[in-house]
Amino acid sequence: NEGGKEDMELPIFDLAAIANATDNFSNNNKLGEGGFGPVYKGTLPEGRDIAVKRLSKNSGQGLNEFKNEVIIIAKLQHRNLVKLLGCCIQENENMLIYEYMPNKSLDSFIFDQANRKLLDWHKRINIIRGVAKGLLYLHEDSRLRIIHRDLKASNILLDSNMNPKISDFGLAKSFGGDQVDSKTNRIIGTYGYMSPEYAVHGQYSIKSDVFSFGVLVLEIVSGKKNRGFCHPDHHLNLLGHAWRLWIEERPMELIDELAGDLFTLSNVLRHIHVGLLCVQQKPTDRPNMSSVVQMLSSESLLPKPR
């Protein structure tokens, strides 16, 4: 059941039902602020928990992102992508209704000292592999060919078993026909996760998502937030080097931590290696997601980053 949905109708929710489910959008039920407005937790009468993204009124850019998200995400069905249950467009309200992800975003698990202990190596590796599979589906399913454009730790949500699901498709682009890259003057996304060619020249392709994926992998393994290397003020040629320095001290700590478990140690080092291949300066040097998935799971020798 992982193919794109063909012309499937998106269920329509009634405004009164959603107001009821979220206790009239009460602040107690607010999960946070998303790309185009607040997100609320709700419970449907049959007991199912939902997350409701509500477009802020008078948000012009928000409306574009909202429409984009509906068009893109309605086509998607994969265990590593957050599931859209339906929408509610009524009385000046625009809302998207998703499955509720009880463990929220990956962000709080990798950067919060107390939470970090809850993510053992097995879980981290499972999260990296799940995100890779979700991204592979977006990029390479011929009916989709979608570039996410804002992949980052806060856009990875975790279900009750800590399985990851990619969310937030407000900036995603779908490429039809033979198109493989595009250029924009409106550079939106998140510095640090943005590839240099996108941050500096507005060029994006599946390889810019691969770069963001690499940053995410290095964050998950190191437990350290990226330092925002791709701000346009940075000199492009320094970036690749900066990434290696950033992660450099980590393998020594890992060797200490995992000295008694060589299997896990080599597996974790393999993930760092793949992360470094993904953050290479030149898009053509970066692997595509099918190679990434293969490299993460196989015992094959990996190429040396340039």
- Interacting residue ranges for ligand ACK, rule: CB under 6 A: 31-34, 39, 51, 82, 98, 100-101, 104-105, 107, 154, 157, 167
Closest approach, Cβ 100 to ligand ACK, in A, equals 5
Q: Is 261 annotated in the active site?
A: no
How many residues belong to the chain?
Answer: 306
8: which DSSP letter? Answer: P
Closest approach, Cβ 68 to ligand ACK, in A, equals 16
d(CA 218, CA 246) in angstroms, rounded, equals: 9
Among 23, 150, 261, 285, the active-site one is 150
- Residue 23 class from Cβ within 10 Å (0-12 exposed, 13-18 middle, 19+ buried)? middle
Please say whether the beta carbons of 157 and 197 come within 8 A.
no
Please say whether the beta carbons of 214 and 196 come within 8 A.
no
User: In the chain, what are the helix, strand and coil shares in percent, each to the nearest 5?
Assistant: 40, 15, 40
Q: Which is nearer to ligand ACK, 152 or 286 (CB)?
A: 152
Q: Which is nearer to ligand ACK, 141 or 159 (CB)?
A: 159
Q: Which is nearer to ligand ACK, 190 or 205 (CB)?
A: 190
Nearest position to ligand ACK, beta carbon: 32
Q: Give the closest residue to 89 by CA, choosing from 5, 10, 170, 30.
A: 10
Q: Give the closest residue to 81 by CA, choosing from 169, 189, 193, 144.
A: 169
Q: Which is nearer to ligand ACK, 150 or 197 (CB)?
A: 150
How many other CB atoms are found less than 10 A from the CB of residue 179?
11
Closest approach, Cβ 169 to ligand ACK, in A, equals 12
Cα within 13 Å of Cα(69), Cβ side: 30
Closest approach, Cβ 298 to ligand ACK, in A, equals 32
Q: Which is nearer to ligand ACK, 113 or 237 (CB)?
A: 113
d(CA 153, CA 225) in angstroms, rounded, equals: 9
Both tokens of residue 20?
């009821």
Closest approach, Cβ 28 to ligand ACK, in A, equals 14
Q: So which residues are the catalytic ones?
A: 150
